[in-house]
A = this chain, B = another copy of it.
Amino acid sequence: MSDSTISKNNNIQTVIDILAQQLGEKLKTGQSIREQHSHTTTMIEPQLPDAVVFADSDADIQAVVDVCARYKVPIIPFGVGTSLEGHVNAPEGGISIDMGQMNQILQVNPEDMDCVVQPGVTREQLNEYLRDTGLFFPIDPGANATIGGMTATRASGTNAVRYGTMRENVISVNVITPNGKEIKTANRARKSSAGYDLTRLFVGSEGTLGVYTSITLKLHPIPQQILSGVCPFPTVEAASQAVIATIQMGIPMARIELLDAMQIKASNLYSKLDNAEQPTLFLEFHGSDEEIKSQAELFTEIAEDFGGSEPQFSTVLEDRNKLWKARHDAYWAARSFRPNTKVIGTDACVPISRFSECITESQKDIEELGLVATFVAHAGDGNFHTQLLIDTKSETEVKNSAEYISRLNKRAIAMEGTCTGEHGVGQGKQKYLEIELGESVEFMRMIKQTFDPDNIMNPGKIFSLTE
């Protein structure tokens, strides 16, 4: 067989024909299904796969990888499509593998506080399932993403400040690699020095090195008590200083989130709240009654030192939800704040000493560029999101939004931070990755090329191989 003489399209049709024969109704080529598997939450146009396979077993994944490898056709793993940098787009066509039916929880080991799940399990599904065990899986990126998608993008979210990110909470993965072999990256021990850390290599690889078939996760004890709090500050700077002091004191915050004044305004309108329109910290403490009480007292003293208002606290679920409503509804509030606009969420992460400076300068950019945006931050990690509300019919706004994102990323990098704290590189952040890590990207490409010489696994993501 000489692939090089067959055009790419011919190959794709061959692959579709073979897979249709092998997988029957699991393979779909309808326009609307292909569109659903290429939508993105970015400004990048949807790029449709040629077909979608709804896999429901390792064998299905194996079949897709084998056939695609033989004909050098791209494979794009798909969870629920909540990623924010165009990860599920198919710029070179190919087969999207929908993992939605790979949703079995294969093992829960309560004594070991771990579990093994298929990649299509969603985090809410997992926590629902775990409820009676006294354990939970903490990583919470907001959307009800799949564990596979969260692993692929090295996701984190509101409580990474205490529980870490997917990097710290994935024990091992089983992966079908581009050469068709299934490997297990580690055993179930909680720590290991057994050779190169392949687990961490696959966490955050954005589908470019293989397709997960199962993922082993660390679980954590459900806290005895949860205390939620809200505390407005006069400035982002003051709130940031309070966050730094809180963490330096060793208060083990479960969540410490910052909303800027504009976001509070949007949330007041959307959720009919009357929060002071100031930069505000949303807090959560996990522990025993004594622990959360003493932690909240310490935090209150710190907040006062930095000019914060008296925090409001509650341990009662209903009141906790009310206190945190502005945070929970932040995305929807931003959306409705400026109707008929597209919301683009872009993330950056800096050392916390530069956090308030980075946000404040970014807010100035928004003003200078005539844009509308809100800011929501995982303040404890120095990680923040700008939610740009873009009138896509205005060429100026579209152009200025791109300019904003460029300035944001370059500023974060100049402050020794990163162009992406938790969303991944995908299609949107490739040029900033090069600025951030320079020569290191060449070593990433070397790994990609040695694992996937024909570049069939989610091509066009993280970095370009053709430049």
A374 part of interface (Cβ distance < 8 Å): no
By beta carbon, the residue of chain B nearest A205 is B196
Q: Chain B's nearest CB lies how many Å from the CB of A410? A: 13
* A353 touching B194, Cβ below 8 Å: no
By beta carbon, the residue of chain B nearest A446 is B450
Q: Chain B's nearest CB lies how many Å from the CB of A319? A: 23
A407 part of interface (Cβ distance < 8 Å): no
A21 part of interface (Cβ distance < 8 Å): no
- Give me the interface of A with B, judged by CB distance under 8 Å: 109-114, 134-135, 153-156, 160, 164-165, 167-168, 177, 181-198, 200-201, 203-205, 220-221, 223-224, 244, 247-250, 252, 287-288, 290-291, 294, 349-353, 381-383, 412-413, 416-425, 429, 433, 436-441, 443-444, 446-451, 462-463
Contact partner of A420 (CB less than 8 A), chosen from B194, B287, B429, is: B194
* A444 touching B195, Cβ below 8 Å: yes
* B189 touching A416, Cβ below 8 Å: yes
* A204 touching B193, Cβ below 8 Å: yes
* B189 touching A349, Cβ below 8 Å: yes
* B451 touching A352, Cβ below 8 Å: no
By beta carbon, the residue of chain B nearest A417 is B189
| Residues of chain B lying within 8 A (CB to CB) of residue A186 | 418, 437
The CA-CA distance from A197 to B444 in the complex, in Å, is: 9
* A421 touching B200, Cβ below 8 Å: no
| Residues of chain B lying within 8 A (CB to CB) of residue A423 | 193
Q: Chain B's nearest CB lies how many Å from the CB of A109? A: 6
| Residues of chain B lying within 8 A (CB to CB) of residue A193 | 153-155, 204, 418, 420-425
* A433 touching B194, Cβ below 8 Å: yes
| Residues of chain B lying within 8 A (CB to CB) of residue A287 | 250
What are the nearest 7 A-B pairs in CB distance?
A200-B200, A221-B250, A111-B353, A188-B416, A112-B351, A189-B349, A192-B418
The CA-CA distance from A330 to B399 in the complex, in Å, is: 66
| Residues of chain B lying within 8 A (CB to CB) of residue A165 | 191
* A443 touching B191, Cβ below 8 Å: no
Q: Chain B's nearest CB lies how many Å from the CB of A148? A: 15
Of the candidates A156, A181, A196, A438, the one having the most CB atoms from chain B within 10 angstroms of its own CB is: A196
Of the candidates A191, A450, A463, the one having the most CB atoms from chain B within 10 angstroms of its own CB is: A191
The CA-CA distance from A114 to B381 in the complex, in Å, is: 13
The CA-CA distance from A196 to B196 in the complex, in Å, is: 13
Q: Chain B's nearest CB lies how many Å from the CB of A244? A: 5
The CA-CA distance from A201 to B439 in the complex, in Å, is: 16
Task: Give me 19 other A-B pairs in contact (C-beta within 8 A), A111-B248, A153-B193, A201-B201 excluded.
Answer: A110-B248, A114-B351, A134-B248, A154-B197, A168-B168, A185-B437, A186-B418, A189-B350, A189-B382, A189-B421, A190-B381, A191-B349, A193-B420, A194-B425, A197-B197, A197-B200, A200-B200, A290-B290, A291-B294
Q: List 13 A-B contacts (CB under 8 A).
A: A112-B351, A112-B382, A154-B197, A183-B443, A189-B383, A192-B421, A193-B204, A193-B421, A194-B419, A196-B201, A196-B447, A198-B440, A446-B450
Contact partner of A439 (CB less than 8 A), chosen from B183, B350, B381, B420, is: B183
Of the candidates A201, A383, A425, A429, the one having the most CB atoms from chain B within 10 angstroms of its own CB is: A201
